[in-house]
Amino acid sequence: MVQDSKRTRPNILVTGTPGTGKTTTSAALAESTQLRHISIGDLVREKNLHDGWDDELECHIINEDLVCDELEDVMEQGGNIVDYHGCDFFPERWFDRVVVLQTDNSVLYDRLSKRGYTGAKLTNNIECEIFQVLLEEAKESYPENTVAALKSDTIEDITRNVTTLTDWVRSWQPTPQ
């Protein structure tokens, strides 16, 4: 990836199936590093960056072009942690690290059930994790040395992940063009 020489702080994408701990990890990492946490789900709702509602999956139909347009300037500045369950529509140049959180299926099932996920929404998300859909999506969309898969089953895993990523942020240096 060619990093933008104007950036003095890295951009990180934290992705994974719903329920893997993206928001918890991103919020803790933002606190630890003073990077800005951007939840795409919240941004889509707040700025109306969607094309309606999907009744079957019980979620907004995200308008990827509107999301990218909304984020372009802030991503060019750097210093962002983007939290979203997809990754293939973001420009590759935006991210210095792509973290895919992974959770054991039984743990994930319990987390999603507690959130009220049922039917197709529950099944689709569990199958997505079983088949490592988001890890494959990340590997296909970003350079291999940018993508890291991290286990996220327990609070201890999340704490270790935040520590590892905080160390990475502190050692990150922009690459001159």
What tokens does 169 get?
């942020």
pLDDT for the residue numbered 4: 45
For 68-100, write each residue's pLDDT tens digit.
999 999 999 999 999 999 999 999 999 999 999
- 86 assigned binding-site residue: no
Contact present, 175 and 4 (Cβ < 8 Å): no
**Helix or strand (DSSP H, E) at 69:** helix 64-77
- 16 assigned binding-site residue: no
Q: What is the mean pLDDT of the chain?
A: 95
Q: What is the CATH number of domain 12-161?
A: 3.40.50.300
Domain ranges of the chain: 12-161
Percent pLDDT > 90 in the chain is: 91
Q: How far apart are the first and last CA of the chain?
A: 11
Closest CA to 142 of 111, 97, 81: 97
- 19 assigned binding-site residue: yes
Contact present, 115 and 19 (Cβ < 8 Å): yes
Question: Which carries the bigger pLDDT value, residue 145 or residue 58?
Answer: 145
**b vs e for 54-87, b when ≥16 Cβ sit within 10 Å of the residue's Cβ?**
eeeeeebebbeebbeebbeeebeebbbbbbbbbb
Instruction: Report pTM.
Output: 0.94
Distance (Å, rounded) from C-alpha 160 to C-alpha 82?
A: 19
- 21 assigned binding-site residue: yes
- 115 assigned binding-site residue: yes
Contact present, 46 and 137 (Cβ < 8 Å): no
- 151 assigned binding-site residue: no
Percent pLDDT > 70 in the chain is: 97
Distance (Å, rounded) from C-alpha 97 to C-alpha 80?
A: 11
Q: What is the DSSP letter of 144?
A: G
Residue 14 has pLDDT above 50, yes or no: yes
For 117-160, write each residue's pLDDT tens digit.
999 999 999 999 999 999 999 999 999 999 999 999 999 999 99
pLDDT for the residue numbered 5: 54
For 18-30, write each residue's pLDDT tens digit.
999 999 999 999 9
Contact present, 122 and 39 (Cβ < 8 Å): no
pLDDT for the residue numbered 2: 46
Q: How far is CA 130 from CA 54, 109, 125, 157, in A?
A: 23, 11, 9, 19
